[in-house]
Amino acid sequence: RFAALVLERRGDRVLVEQRNRFFEGDELEMISPGLAPGQKLRVRGLTDEEGNPVRDAKRVQQRLLLPDGGLLQPLDMLRKKA
């Protein structure tokens, strides 16, 4: 299931737009032309744009910041197993 779309990089984090619900601690697959298939990202340190912690990304099209280790680029996608 398509979880989020990467909108932009902000330092060591990416701004994503939520598309389907995911939670702090979930493992998401990174879909990117620059990465080998099947690479995973554990959701940790998720915040809204104001820096407030978010444990449950449940608002469709909510914009969230997520640490990614510098791996993702704009228009990459995050996918969650159904």
Distances (CA, A) of 80 to 10, 21, 28: 23, 9, 5
Residue 44 pLDDT: 97
Contact yes or no for 15/7 (Cβ under 8 A)? yes
Residue 82 has pLDDT above 80, yes or no: no
Q: What is the mean pLDDT of residues 3-31?
A: 97
Indicate the pTM of the whole model.
0.93
Q: What is the mean pLDDT of residues 19-35?
A: 96
Angle, alpha carbons 44-49-52 (nearest 5°): 60
Residues contacting 24, CB < 8 A, separation 6+: 43, 44, 46, 53, 54, 55, 56
Q: What is the mean pLDDT of residues 43-72?
A: 96
pLDDT (tens digit per residue) in 40-52: 999 999 999 999 9
